Each structure stands twice: as C-alpha cells, then as structure tokens.
A and B are shown apart, each in its own frame.
Chain A
Amino acid sequence: MTAELVRGQNHPLSQARIEIRVSAGKPIVAGATLSDEHGKVQGVEWVAHPGTPTLPGLEVSRQAAADHRLAVDLGAMPEAVHRVSVLLALPSAAGGPVQFGAVAAPFVAVTGLDGTEIASYTITGLKAESAVVALELYRRQGAWKVRAVGQGYAGGLAELLADQGLPQAHQLAGGINEAVAQGMARSVQAPRTPDGDRSRQAAAPAFGPDQTGSPYGAQGAAEPRPGYPTGSVDPSAVAQPSGSGAGGPIDYSHPRRRNAAPPPPPPTAPAAQPGQPARPVAGDATGWSMEERLYNQVWGIFEDLARTTAAYRSAVDFADSRMEKELDQVLSDPRSRIGGQGDAAREAARAKHTQLVDRARTALDRDLAQLTAEVEVVEPALPLAFARWDNPVWHGYRVPMEIPMALRLGDLRLPECPELRIPMLVRLPLERGLWIDSGRAGSLDGGYNDSHDLRQLAMETAVAHAARLLAVYPAGEFTVHAIDPAGSGAQALAPLVQTGVLAAPPAIGAAGVSEVLVRLTQRVDLVQMAVRGGAADSLPPGLDTSEQLLIVNDFPHGFDDRAVTQLRYLADEGPAVGVHLMMVADREEAAAYGPLLDPLWRSLMRLTPVPDDHLADPWVGHAWTYEPCLVPHGSQVLQQVLTQVAMARTKLR
C-alpha cells in the first residue's frame, strides 16, 4: 500500500535499505545531503552529488537524467547523521529549462528493494525554483521516517546548500554543475544512453505500411549491424569518464544512435475509407524505436482486449441478473398462475435478456475484429525476442548486439475469443525468477494425467525459455547453469548440453547441487558487497559479470537443509544482482518443508507447461489463459539458434 504524501506529511519507514525513484519529464540532477541533529550539513563530504556519487549508505546517479534511482541504506548511515535530504535541481549548463515551473511536476517514490512503493510524493506548485528539497529521511526516536518537503529555491543549488548551513555552498554548487556538464558531454559519447535505459535504442527506420507484411520487416530493428560495439561493451566502460574520447579520432558512437535527435515518426495508418475502421499498422504506438513501439502496441492491444471483454462480461452479468429478477417476480405473482400471462411475462424477460446479450456481443465482435486485424499485422513484424518460435525471423537468427527490452514468455487469451492471442512480454533484465509448475493441479484439460509426461513437458518448457534468454542476449552476457540431481531431465536438457551453451554440464547428485549453489551464492555475495560499497571495479578479475540463470529440476530431490537455505537466499537476493532461478517443480513434492518455502514460490513468476488460466491482467484482473512458447514439433530451430550462440561464445573467449 503506497502512501501518497502531501507536502509536510510524514510516513514511517520499516526497512533500512530503500530506493528512492525520481521521475521528471526532463533531465534533472538528483543528489542528497546529510545533516546532523541541528539540520546542518557539516561539510562537502556530507553531500552526495554527480561528482561524488557515493557516501556510506547512499548512492546517487552520476548524470542528469529524467529518471533516477537513489540507493539508500539507512542502517549504514553514520551515527551523527540525523537527516538525509533528497534534492533535485535543473542542470544549469544544458540550455534546458531554467525553472521547475516549465517542466512537469517531479514525482518521487520511496520503494523497497523489491520495488514495492512505500510512499510517493508529487512536487506540485513549483514556479521559478531551479532547485528543490524533495524528501527528507530523518531519525525519530530511533526509527527512520520520510517526510514530503517540496521546498524550492529560486537561487538554485547554491541557495539550497547555503540554507542547510554549508559554508562552501557556492563552490560546491559550481562543482556539481561542472560534474553534470561533464556527465552530459560524456553521455553523448557513451555507447549506451546515460540512464542505461534500454528502451531508447538505436532508432530503426520506420517501415511503410506496405513493408509490414514481410516477416523480415522488423529484423533491422532487432539486430543492429554487427561491427559496432554497441551492446557487447563492458558496462563499466560507461561509468569511466571518457574525456579522451571527445577529441580522439575514433567515434565510438553508434552511427544510427542520436540521443538528442527526435525519433523517426511512427508509421501512421493510411487514412481510413469513409465508414470503415482504419487499417491497423505494426508499430502504431509511441516509442523511440520500432522495438519500443511494438512493445507498447502489444500492451495497448492487451489492455484494449481486457477492457472490451470487461464491458461485455458486465453487460451479460447485468442481463442475467435482471432476467433472474424478472422471472422471480413472475413466479411470485399469483396472477401469473392463471392462463398464459405468466408464460408471456417469462417470454418477455427472456427476450429482453437475449436482446441485451446480442447487443453486447455485437459490440464485442466489432472490437475483436479490430484487435484481431491488429494482431495479424503486428505478429509477423515482431523482433526476435517478441516472436514465437515458428516466426521466420528465428530462421534468420544472428546473435544480437544489444539486450532487447522485453522477452516473450508465451501467449495470453480469454475464453471469449480463444483465437486472439496476445504475446506475453516481460521486461528484461528479468525482475523475478520463473517457476515452471510441473504439478498436476494446474492443468486445464485432464490430458496430462501421467505425471511423468507433464514433468517431461515442464522441463522442455524450461529449456525453451532458457534457450530464448540465451539467444536474445548478446554473446557472453547470459549464462545458464542447470541442476538435475537425478538426471531425469537429461533428455530435455539435451539441446543445451549438445550445443555446449551451458556454463558446465548439468550438476548431478547432492554434491553437484551444493557445489553449484555455493558458487552462485558467493557470486551474489561478492557483487552485492561491491555494489553496496560502491566499489564495482574492485571485483576479482575472473568474475563473470553476465546475468545468470539457474535451472533447478526435480526440486527438492538432492537438496539438504543447507542447500534449501542457499536456494532461498538466491531467490531473495539474486534478482537484484542478475542471478535468477528457474524452478521446474511440483509444489506438492516440497510440501515437507512446510511454510518455510512459501516466500520462495511467491517470489517466482509461475508459468505452466500446458495452457492454464492463472495469470491476471493489471487493469481488471481477468483470468487469462497462459500458453508457453514452445518450439514446434520436429523443428530444428532451437538447435540452429543454440549452435550460433555457442559459436559466438567461443569467439568471445
């Protein structure tokens, strides 16, 4: 439950480790000051800003950006610190807006590490101010609280810092602005956009409506030309000041990437014939690239289908309840027992019901026809990561250079229109692990009564998802481990094992299980320590910084108590540092552990190997039938794709 704060309101904080998210329409600077019990900032070393982004327990971004995430660990704050003020300022050198009155009201939210919002605050009413104290976190009787402040300063950062008692306010404000200006200069050179937002990728050429029918139409958007080091660069390269690159002879920037340039106009639908709905076009949505437009369009179709079905269902429900009421009335009316009066009344009630349901169905059919036409043009235009395995785009597979914004995990549909399937897209990098349910309880049809078959299918589904993740990440940026204690998943894992894309052969037996878990736990520990301490460059040189996925088959077979504890640790702490679980399991079989494992299942996204209606949409909460993306029977596409992935990996080493 989010508390929406108004100016001056406070809210208790139960967690010590929190994130503060800031979003504003324009690039802004975010920073924080620490102050003592008198509200005084003791010196420049108590201010976190783009020039000095990390302090104990506090990290801010190095650049001006429209969106920020500030990491705060209140437990790590020095004893002397009694207040943390989060400040926002407009960059002075950018030639952008000079007062907050000219930009959208900034929005700040305090969230837990899992992304759940604790409190949020929209800073309204700003006019000539160019710097503002958005929130303050403060100690009150041994606990921390957050207060919405919204105090603006027309004199900018210098005035803001001076107000907090910092003697060197003017010099520091100058220093911050310089650091921001440097950051901006650097961000133009950097291969990735400053805020690391992968949604703003190289702008793809806009496709005319005549080209969208081609199944290869969207390929240009999905696969930037090889030869430009766009996606495969080490992430730490972005963080290094690359001042030398500015005057150097080599331009490392992507030739098609222009951060400041407006995106190409989206393909617009041709003018509709009078009296007919407009012909749909793939990519007819907002976004900076074809990929982002298609992503937004798919979500738009998803929402429209959810809503139009809600309209239909509510109309039918209403018609049902009205008819029931009217029939009851007829029944309780003594006059209706004589003659044909009752029959006539019943007939009338039924006719009213049929009429309303027919009208509702007509409206639904009209909308479904429109959405079906839209899906028909969108589906063939989808890039690799969004496309079904039977899409020809997979046959032209080449190892991508950039991480796509999202991944298709399957299809969603509603019983009203089983033939209209919406791609289910989840953002990358994954925010939570996956649980492929091999339990029997979930399946819609009783066709998979043999639990062995279902288990086999669950493992095949897991392999299809893992292969897809491997394929859409650039070479070497995604690593898959597998635990198969009893070796029962060997047949399903064969495509991964034979092509050699696994980090190591699947771990077998209790010893293998614990070895893999220890290794991944250590990695999580190391990366977490490095991130918390702000020392990402001090990680051991041999450490693999790619995203990791651990496929666990047959859980809890081969797991002792220690291994279960480690698994839970990975589920809790892993996603934040790029280590994800993929459990292929039947919850019933782990029932012996009791409620101990409940948080584990809750933290994973449950997917089924067979069609099952367990997913709800975020708008009206319909139960959608989910069906996984599986490789068509007899198709070699998986082997071909994985062979290329393996080749690209060997080249990299």
Chain B
Amino acid sequence: MTKGQAISLQKNDGGSLTAVRMGLGWQAAPRRGLFGSRTREIDLDASAVLFADKQPVDVVFFRHLVSDDGSVRHTGDNLVGGVGQGGDDEAILVDLARIPVHIDQIVFTVNSFTGQTFQEVQNAFCRLVDESNGQELARYTLAGGGAYTAQIMAKVHRTGPGWTMTALGTPANGRTFQDLMPAILPHL
C-alpha cells in the first residue's frame, strides 16, 4: 500500500477486526574487527500513542509496556535486533474491542534509540498485522529509507462502529516518541 492510503479494518464478511499487531524487525549490527566488545548495538523501539480528540492520553512504549486499560500491550524491549530474517523483534498488540471508548486514534511510531539512521540498519521493517488471521495490512521497509531516525508509521482510528487504518510512513527524527509529538499532530 502507499502513503496516505486508508484501509477499513472491517472484515469482508461484516465482522469487525478485533486485534492488530504492530511488528518491528531489524538485523543486529555486525561485529567489526577484533574487539568483540565494541560492537555498536542498534536499538529500534516501537511505540503506540493513544489519542482522544487529538490529545495524547496514554502511550505504550518500552517504559510503559501495558496501557492502563490493558488493551494495548508491548511484548518487551529488544535492545539489539534479531537475525534479520523477517521475524518481529518488537511487537505491540492492540485489542481493538477493549480500547476505552474515548480513544479514537492510535498512532504507531518507530524510533532509533541508539541514534543510527535507517540507512545504517540492515533489513529493518515495520508492519501492521491482523492478529485474527495473520494477514499483513501494511509493511514498510525502513532500511535504506534515508537519513532519518524515526518514522510515523500508521494510525488506526475509529470510523463508525469499526476501525480504519491509514498508512502514514512519514519520516522524522527523534530518540523516543516524545520527540515526534510535533510531527504526529498534523496527521491526526
């Protein structure tokens, strides 16, 4: 899918989508030279910001792994990345049916905590998956995507009784989601 494209998360058979997962994967930095202890580790972080009427009310990231209501869960911080073969190294699970009624938008972001730009990270990607059937709703290849340290990936927002996902894919710079707040606001 392309930037700005919106997908309704209503299923074809009329049943609404119940759970989505944001996945983030990247390959660990290769060891250079003789001094094994001096490898530069790459730490990318996935975050989800919950908005009510354009005000951030909760955030799920590596320091707050479960939203207060329990509907959004981060599976845990990965500090170094994986083997880069397509598996998710960090994931955020969203139980759409249980999101508090006042929250109407959820924005997913990726940040490079250790400061490498996406140009320097091998095999980095982020994706949004329908948890009920494993189908990928959106996928971005981050690697080689330019000298940015962050991406505002996608938002999931309420439309009528169900939820709609809009792919954003906006590059940005910042260490954690807080640095991205000014860049997120125009997308709400």
Contact = CB atoms under 8 A, between A and B. Distances in A.
B69 A360 contact: no
Contacts of B66: 619
Contact of A318 (B98, B99, B102): B102
Interface string B94-107: 00001111100000
B65 to A, nearest CB: 11
B101 A363 contact: yes
A307 B102 contact: no
A8 interface: yes
B80 A311 contact: no
A310 interface: yes
Nearest to A6: B79
Contacts of B101: 311, 315, 356, 359-360, 363
Interface in B44-94: 52-53, 57-58, 66, 68-71, 79-80
A43 to B, nearest CB: 30
B37 interface: yes
A124 interface: yes
A164 B37 CA distance: 19
Interface in A277-318: 303-304, 307-308, 310-312, 314-315, 318
Contacts of A312: 100
Nearest to A124: B80
Given A6-B79, A319-B102, A356-B102, A310 B37 contact: no
Contacts of A311: 68-71, 98-101
Interface of B, secondary structure class, is: loop
Given A314-B102, A319-B102, A307 B70 contact: yes
Interface footprint category on A: 20 to 34
Contact of A310 (B52, B53, B70, B102): B70
A576 B99 CA distance: 43
Nearest to A319: B102
A308 B37 contact: no
A222 B37 CA distance: 53
A307 B68 contact: yes
Interface string A345-382: 00000000000100110010000000000000000000
B69 A314 contact: yes
B14 to A, nearest CB: 13
Nearest to B71: A311
A309 to B, nearest CB: 9
A123 to B, nearest CB: 13
B164 to A, nearest CB: 19
A359 B52 CA distance: 14
Nearest to A315: B102
Given A8-B37, A322-B53, A304 B70 contact: yes
Interface of A, secondary structure class, is: helix
A312 B102 CA distance: 9
Contacts of A6: 79
A204 to B, nearest CB: 30
Given A6-B79, A8-B37, A360-B102, A314 B57 contact: yes
A542 interface: no
Contacts of A319: 102
B102 A125 contact: no
A153 to B, nearest CB: 15
B41 to A, nearest CB: 8
Contacts of A318: 52-53, 57, 102
A125 B80 contact: yes
Interface in A319-358: 319, 322, 356
Contacts of A590: none
A511 interface: no
Interface in B119-154: none
Contacts of A619: 66, 68, 70
Choose among B70, B79, B80 the residue with the greatest number of A CB atoms under 10 Å from its CB: B70
Choose among B52, B57, B58, B69 the residue with the greatest number of A CB atoms under 10 Å from its CB: B69
Nearest to B55: A318
Contacts of A359: 101
A275 B45 CA distance: 38
Interface in A1-42: 6, 8
A530 interface: no
Nearest to A358: B101
A167 to B, nearest CB: 28
A239 interface: no
B69 A307 contact: yes
Contacts of B58: 314
A314 B100 contact: yes
Given A124-B80, A360-B100, A308 B69 contact: yes
Interface in B23-57: 37, 52-53, 57
A535 interface: no
Contacts of B70: 303-304, 307-308, 310-311, 619
Contacts of A356: 101-102
B157 to A, nearest CB: 16
Contacts of B79: 6
A620 interface: yes
Nearest to B70: A307
B80 A310 contact: no
Contacts of A308: 69-70, 98
Contacts of B69: 307-308, 310-311, 314
A363 B103 CA distance: 13
B70 to A, nearest CB: 3
Nearest to A621: B68
Contacts of B102: 314-315, 318-319, 356, 360
B99 to A, nearest CB: 8
Contacts of A124: 80
B110 to A, nearest CB: 21
A359 B99 CA distance: 12
Interface string A432-451: 00000000000000000000
B68 A620 contact: yes
18 contacts: A6-B79, A125-B80, A304-B70, A307-B68, A307-B71, A311-B68, A311-B71, A311-B98, A312-B100, A314-B57, A314-B58, A314-B69, A318-B57, A322-B53, A359-B101, A363-B101, A619-B66, A619-B70
Interface of B: 37, 52-53, 57-58, 66, 68-71, 79-80, 98-102
Closest 8 CB pairs of A and B: A307-B70, A311-B69, A311-B100, A315-B102, A359-B101, A310-B68, A318-B102, A315-B100
Interface of A: 6, 8, 124-125, 303-304, 307-308, 310-312, 314-315, 318-319, 322, 356, 359-360, 363, 619-620
Given A307-B71, A311-B100, 11 more contacts: A124-B80, A310-B70, A311-B68, A311-B71, A311-B98, A311-B101, A312-B100, A318-B52, A318-B53, A318-B102, A360-B101
